[in-house]
Chain A
Amino acid sequence: MENNKEQLLKEDAWIGCHDCDLLNEIEALPEDCEAHCSRCKALLFRSRSNSISDSLALSLAGLILFIPANIYPIMSLQVLGQSKSGTLLAGAVKLYTGGLEMVGVLILLTSIVIPLFKLLMLLYVLLPLQLGVRLLGMVPTFRIFQKLNAWGMLEVYMLGILVAIIKLGDLATVIAGTGLYAFVALLLVTVCLSAALDERVVWQRLEAMNA
């Protein structure tokens, strides 16, 4: 009886629901499955196989793709003999110099800075974990990564590109640039990365490392 009670009170046997605060008992999950709160059906956690190694590979791929996606122009516009092309950065800069500093900064952050930092931060946390090394500040870095997660808006930018192409298609000839292909690849990598990353495993490893 006493042993049972002790087992029940052990912290790691339970997980609290983030949305409704119900304590759910943890069962071991088979790989690549999801666990939902019994009361409000919120997603509690997913178990993903090889989360850390997969996420690491994807982060590196993302970082490599980041460079051409930003250096090469996304698309060019041709009208009446005149031609104008733009990179991801160009839009933000033009808004900034055009007097709308805040919008320019916001676009810069959500489409370039934050996605880049997310990849870098993830690399900083995952690579040492994979190698079994301990670096300074891994825990705060991962915390900041989690908070920034919602603010990287590459998919929204992608849809924006499509809408812009359609809107401009009438006026002029639109030509896709090299940057666009790199950008699409980067987007796919980001999406796969959010599917592959299992935050629970990362936190458990971080905890084990610091113990």
Chain B
Amino acid sequence: MIWIHRLDGSEFMLNIDLIENVETKPDTIITLTNGKKIVTRESAEEIRRLVIEFKRQILSDRDSKEKELESRTDRS
């Protein structure tokens, strides 16, 4: 989920798994897999960065969780 802004400035979280494509028209228009279109203030590049950032966060959490589990089993 990433925080993005509609054209009028209102903020909301988008489920990135639903993103089918992002176009610059010149406004950024995200097309979801269900056909809905969302127009955002963030540029396409911004969206990409936000997605990567988000996934990185998840993975780093996973890595730190794994490390924690390993250290616990090692001790036993």
Do A and B pair up? The answer is no
